[in-house]
Amino acid sequence: MAEPGRPKKRILVTGGSGLVGKAIKKLVTEGGAGRHEEEWIFLSSKEGDLTDAGQTKALFERFRPTHVIHLAAMVGGLFRNIKYNLDFWRNNVHINDNVLHTAYEFGVEKVVSCLSTCIFPDKTTYPIDETMIHSGPPHDSNFGYSYAKRMIDVQNRAYFAQHGCRFTAVIPTNVFGPHDNFNIEDGHVLPGLIHKAYLAKKNGTPLTVWGTGKPRRQFIYSLDLARLFLWVLREYDEVEPIILSVGEEDEVSIREAAECIVGAMDFKGELHFDTTKLDGQFKKTASNAKLKKYLPDFQFTPFHQAVKETCDWFSTNYDGARK
């Protein structure tokens, strides 16, 4: 029961200072998506170490959430994953177990965790869907992160089976937008390319893309994903996860993404592809049929518009951006 004078929902967002957390915060504080019965608390890693069970419990004691959006994770791009698979496994397993078990102990009504399409089997048929998460090993490059994220789905089903908890998860495709990590070595492909394009334009040098440019990805704008997170929190009642993605027809190659960035940045130099670098998975096409069944009229921001807004944000906020 809500305490007198307190909102009926106290929503704790772990990883609240990251890409998706910032997008949700923007929607509920500036975008008119907040509701008077909701109080939002956005946590950053500075407020507590979620790999530590004691610190996690102290945060729940302090904020007493009724709902949790669990975004916190150790994340990184292809090359960082290859180098630190064990660290990705251990840190994420600790974070996820601490958050979910503490949520159970504190009687949290609902937890929505964030997975990733990289958790799906490497050898599979396409498009992938929500039923295929555990049907084979993930890609070797990020098996530590992938298995740790898969375990959230296992835990959600176990907490429901044993305790009736309404814990669920979403599976977004490649997320990008303002407040991303634009680090060229450790970041994901799109923000890394945006940073490279910015520097190439500034220095008058060619823009070099790692790999052949042939792999294909579905990209989702962080503000679109934030809108869908609010829907999942408020309306989606399944324990089974749901893929949050643009349609299969909106998949783009890395080359097409790079060309879109070149246009958005008004970069006039040469575009090179360094084929000595690894490509990673060729594709991981996901079906958004389940999402479309629930929300047939949901409109995604066009890719070129979302890229332009992200490039503009990065150029304007270059000094303070994560890089």
**What positions carry a catalytic annotation?**
145
**Residue 119 gets which letter from DSSP?**
G
Reference 178, options 12, 11, 25, 72; nearest CA is: 25
Inter-CA distances, 132 with 118, 150, 274, 280, Å: 12, 11, 33, 20
Go through 258-276 and write b for each residue having 16 or more CB atoms within 10 A of its CB, e for each that does not.
bebbbebbebeeebebeee
**Using an 8 Å Cβ cutoff, are 230 and 271 in contact?**
no
Residue-by-residue DSSP string for 262-274: HHHHT--S-EEEE
Reference 129, options 257, 298, 293, 254; nearest CA is: 293
For residues 240 and 157, give the distance between their C-alpha atoms in angstroms, rounded to a whole number.
8
Inter-CA distances, 17 with 110, 180, 247, 249, 322, Å: 21, 10, 28, 32, 11
Q: What tokens appear for 39 in the block?
A: 């109080």
Reference 251, options 276, 210, 283; nearest CA is: 283
Backbone angles phi and psi of 123, in degrees to 5: -95, 110
Query: Mapping DSSP to helix (H, G, I), strand (E, B) and coil, where does residue 183 land?
Result: coil
